[in-house]
């Protein structure tokens, strides 16, 4: 049972344009959402997060939007740069006490073309 889904395995955009990565979840108990970025042969690194009490969080070129009614979140990267080419994972947490346990999606491979 995949509770966090990234239905697009890959995305290709032109440098300077907007990249939109999508993520859907099924568990309404999730209250915290994160995006991680992963380069080949490296571990994932934290990118941006959002609490369920917000619908938008922005950090430089990266913005995450949360639509709780649709159980959907998206990551916008504007403008996209070739160095953004990586695998992006969304993850969700349901306030599982102090353990910080996360449920990850399958990942979306972003390619930004120069």
Partner 1 sequence: DVKVTQSSRYLVKRTGEKVFLECVQDMDHENMFWYRQDPGLGLRLIYFSYDVKMKEKGDIPEGYSVSREKKERFSLILESASTNQTSMYLCASSRGADTQYFGPGTRLTVL
The Cβ of residue 92 has, within 10 Å, a number of other Cβ atoms equal to 23
Pick between residue 42 and residue 114 the one whose CB is nearest to partner 1. Answer: 42
Minimal distance, residue 53 CB to partner 1, in Å: 15
Q: How far is CA 97 from CA 31, 49, 101, in A?
A: 12, 18, 9
Q: In the chain, what's the furthest Cα-to-Cα distance?
A: 44
Q: Which residues bind partner 1 (CB under 8 A)?
A: 4, 6, 9, 32, 34, 36, 41-46, 49, 89, 91, 93, 95-107
Pick between residue 64 and residue 91 the one whose CB is nearest to partner 1. Answer: 91
């Amino acid at each position: 049972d995949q509770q966090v889904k990234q239905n697009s395995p890959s995305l290709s955009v032109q440098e300077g344009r907007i990249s939109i990565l999508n993520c859907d979840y099924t568990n309404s108990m999730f209250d915290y959402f994160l995006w991680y970025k992963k380069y080949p042969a490296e571990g994932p690194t934290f990118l941006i997060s959002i609490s369920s009490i917000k619908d938008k969080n922005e950090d430089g070129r990266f913005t995450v939007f949360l639509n709780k009614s649709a159980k959907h979140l998206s990551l916008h990267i504007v403008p996209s740069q070739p160095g953004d080419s990586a695998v992006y994972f969304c993850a969700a947490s349901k306030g599982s006490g102090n353990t910080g346990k996360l449920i990850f999606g399958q990942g979306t491979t972003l390619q930004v073309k120069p």
